[in-house]
Structure 1
C-alpha cells in the first residue's frame, strides 16, 4: 500500500510536467526542449527561497514565474529571431543549466531541515505519503480545471488554432507569434511548478534533475492517449494525468522486478517508442487479421 500511495502521489506531481509537455507537443505542435531546463529551474528557485526563509507557497509561485520567463525566452528566439523551435528550446535549456547553478550556488541543495508545502499542511498523525497524495491531487485538479477553462476562452482557442492551422488563424487577424509565446509561457510555468513540488517532496534540488524530463513528459502523454483516448480536450487532460500515473506505476513495477535504476532512461525511451508506434502496429495487425480471415 505504501508503494501504491507513493507511486500515485509522484505520478500526480509529475502530471503537471506532462500537461506542460502536452501544451507544446500537441496543442502548439512544437517539440520544446526547454522543459529540461525549466524543470530544474523551478526546483532551484523553490529550494533557494525555502532555504532563505520564504513560505513554501511563495516559493512555488515564484518558481512558476521563473519557468514562464524561460518559456518567453524560447518564444522570443523562436518567433522574433526565427530560430527553429527545437533549436531555440535547446539553447534555452543549455543556458538554464548555468542559471540554475548560479541560483543554487552548488549542484545540489538539500531541503531536509526546511518547511515544505507538504510538511506545513500535514495533519498530526497523518502519513506523509497520504499528505503528498492529497496535495498533489488537489493541485492537479485545480490546474486541469483552469486549463480546461482557459483553452475554452477566445484566447485559449486562438492558441489551439495556432498549433492546428497557423495560416487560417493568421488570416483571421491573430498574431500567431504572440500565441506561440503564450503557449510556451504557460507550458514552462507548469513544468517549473512540477519541479518545485518534486523538489519539496524529494527533499532536495539538483542541477541534473531535468535530464530526460522531456522523455518522461512524452511518455505520460503518449501512454495516456493510447490507453484513455483523445475524444475531446477534457478527455486529453484526463488522459495525460492518468498517463503520468500509469508511467510511474510501470517504473515502480520494473524496479520491483529487479531492473537496475541505471537502465530506467533506456527503458523509458523504449516505452515511448512502443507507445508512439502503437497506432501503426495496430493498423498493420488489423490489416493482417483481415487478410487471414479472407
Structure 2
C-alpha cells in the first residue's frame, strides 16, 4: 500500500511534471518540433530561481525570472533551426549541451541548497495545514492558472496560427502566417513552462542540482502519450487536460510500483519502470485501434 505521504508526494511530482507536459505538448504536438532542450531548461529554471533566492530575491520574482530564462533557452533552439537552418533535433541537442555549462556558471557549483531560505512555500508553512499537503495545494493553483491561460492562448488568433504552423507550415505561409516567428515563440513558451517547473521543483525539494534535468523529456513524453491514450483529445482544452492527467497518473504508477513489496522494485529501477510505462502508453492506442478494426470486420 502507498502511504499518504507517498501518495501526495506523487501528486506533487505529477503536478510539477504536468507543467513539463504542457511544454512538451506545445513543442511536439502543436509545432511538430522534436525538442530535447527541456533536459537543460528544467535545471536552468531551478538554477536561476535557487541562485536568486539565495541572493535575497523575492521567490516569486525569482520564479518568474526562471521562466524567462527557460523562454530564452527555447528561443535559442528555435532560432538555430529557423535562422541558421540547423535541424530541429540537432539544434535542441546543441542548446541542451550548452545549458549544462551555463547552469554551472549560474550556480557557481554543481548544486545550491535552499534550506532556511524563503521560498514560495514559506507563507503556506505558517498555516494550519499538514506539511505534505502544502506543495500539492500550491502547485494545483499554479497549474490551473497555467492551464486556463494556455487554453485561452491556443484558441486565440495567434494560437490558431501556431497550430496551423505545426500542421502544415507551407500552407500557413501561403496564408500570410509568419511561421518562423511563431516557431520561435512556441518553442520559447514551451521551455518557459519547463523552466517554471524547474524553479518550483527546486523550491519544493529544497535544492537545485545541475543533473536534475536528466530524463525530463522522457517524463514529459510519457505524460503526453499516456494522457492521449486514456482521454479524448478532440478539443485543445481536453488535450491539455489529458497531458496533466497523464503526468499525475504516471507519477502515481511510479509510486505504486516502488512501494509495492510484491513487485520487489527499488529506487534504482525508476528508469526501467519509466521505459515500461512509456512503451505501454505508445502501444495502448494501437491495440485499441486493432480491436476496433477487428470488431468492425
TM-score range, shorter chain: over 0.9
Correspondence for 1:262: 268
Q: 1:284 aligns with which of 259, 266, 290?
A: 290
CA distance in 2, matches of 1:237, 1:112: 34
Structure 1 residues 151 and 288: alpha-carbon distance in aligned structure 2, compared to 1, 3 A threshold: closer
Structure 2: runs of 5 or more not aligned? none
- Number of equivalenced pairs: 291
Correspondence for 1:212: 215
CA distance in 1, matches of 2:37, 2:286: 29
Structure 1 residues 171 and 49: alpha-carbon distance in aligned structure 2, compared to 1, 3 A threshold: same
Correspondence for 2:249: 246
**Given the alignment of the two structures, is residue 58 of structure 1 paired with residue 61 of structure 2, yes or no?**
yes
CA distance in 1, matches of 2:176, 2:293: 44
Structure 1: runs of 5 or more not aligned? none
Return the offset for 1:228.
Answer: 1.5
Matches for 1:109-258 after TM superposition, within 5 Å: 109-257=112-260, 258=264
* CA deviation string 1:42-72 (max 9, x = no partner): 0000010111111110110000000000011
* CA deviation string 1:187-234 (max 9, x = no partner): 000000000001100110010000000000000111111112212100
Correspondence for 2:83: 80
Return the offset for 1:265.
Answer: 1.4
Note the aligned Cα RMSD (angstroms).
1.3
Return the offset for 1:272.
Answer: 1.0
TM-score by length of 1: 0.95
Return the offset for 1:288.
Answer: 5.1
**Given the alignment of the two structures, is residue 274 of structure 1 paired with residue 280 of structure 2, yes or no?**
yes
Matches for 1:87-126 after TM superposition, within 5 Å: 87-126=90-129
CA distance in 2, matches of 1:72, 1:48: 22
Return the offset for 1:30.
Answer: 1.2
Return the offset for 1:276.
Answer: 1.2
**Given the alignment of the two structures, is residue 47 of structure 1 paired with residue 50 of structure 2, yes or no?**
yes
CA distance in 2, matches of 1:270, 1:126: 36
CA distance in 1, matches of 2:159, 2:286: 31
TM-score by length of 2: 0.95
Return the offset for 1:271.
Answer: 1.4
